[in-house]
A and B are shown apart, each in its own frame.
Chain A
Amino acid sequence: MIEAAFSGRLGSFALDAAFRVPARGITALFGPSGCGKTTVLRGIAGLMRLPGGRLRVNEEVWQDGRRFVPPHRRAIGYVFQEASLFPHLSVQSNLTFGLRRHRGPAQIGLEEVVDLLGIAPLFDRPVPLLSGGERQRVAIGRALLSQPRLLLMDEPLSALDRMSKDEILPYLERLHASLSIPVIYISHDIAEVERLADTLVLMEAGRVRAQGPLAELLADPALPLIHMPEPAAVLEGAVIGTDPDYGLSEISVPGGSLVVPGNLGPLGMRRRVRVPASDVSLGRHAPADTTILNALPARIEGAEQTSDHQVTVRLRLGEDGHGAALLARVSRKSWDRLALRAGETVVARLKAVSLADPARDIAPSEPVPPP
Chain B
Amino acid sequence: MPGLALLVWVPLVAVVATILGALGALIAELPPASLIEALAAPETRFAVGLSLRASLTALGLALLLGVPTAWLIARRRFRGKALVETVLDLPMVTPPLVAGIGLMLLLGHEAPAGRALSGLGVEILFSPAGVILAQTYIATSVIVRAARAAFGAVDRGYGDSAATLGVPPFWRFLLVEIPIAGRALMAAAVLGWARALGEFGATLMVAGATRLHTETLPMAVYLNMASGRIDIAIACALVLLALAFALLLALRLLSAEKPDPLHDEDPHARIAA
Contacts and interface: CB of A to CB of B under 8 A. Distances in A.
Interface in B29-57: none
Contact of B265 (A88, A129, A146): A129
Interface in A127-160: 127-129, 139, 142-143, 146, 152
Nearest to B181: A88
Given A71-B164, A72-B166, A82-B262, A88 B180 contact: yes
Contact of A84 (B158, B166, B179, B182): B158
Contacts of A68: none
B8 interface: no
Given A126-B273, A127-B261, A128-B259, A84 B163 contact: no
Interface string B148-171: 000000010110111111111100
B163 A47 contact: yes
Contacts of B260: 128
A194 to B, nearest CB: 27
Counting chain A residues whose Cβ lies within 8 A of the other chain, the interface size class is 20 to 34
Contacts of A364: none
Given A127-B261, A128-B261, A129-B269, A76 B180 contact: no
Contact of B167 (A46, A72, A88, A125): A72
Interface residues of B, number: 26
A87 interface: yes
Contacts of B273: 125-126, 129
Given A78-B161, A84-B160, A129-B273, A101 B167 contact: yes
A90 B162 CA distance: 15
Given A82-B262, A126-B273, A129-B269, A47 B164 contact: yes
Given A86-B158, A126-B273, A129-B270, A143 B261 contact: no
A98 B261 CA distance: 21
Contact of B165 (A98, A127, A129): A98
B176 interface: yes
Contacts of A78: 160-161, 164
Nearest to A46: B163
A251 B164 CA distance: 40
A45 interface: yes
Contacts of A152: 164
A137 to B, nearest CB: 15
A78 to B, nearest CB: 4
Nearest to A103: B166
Given A86-B161, A88-B179, A142-B165, 15 more contacts: A47-B164, A71-B164, A77-B164, A80-B157, A84-B160, A86-B179, A86-B180, A87-B261, A87-B262, A98-B164, A128-B258, A128-B260, A129-B265, A143-B164, A152-B164
Going nearest first, the 6 A-B pairs with the smallest beta carbon separation are A87-B261, A98-B165, A78-B164, A84-B157, A71-B163, A101-B166
15 contacts: A45-B164, A47-B163, A70-B168, A72-B165, A80-B157, A80-B160, A86-B162, A87-B262, A98-B166, A101-B167, A128-B259, A128-B265, A129-B273, A139-B161, A146-B164
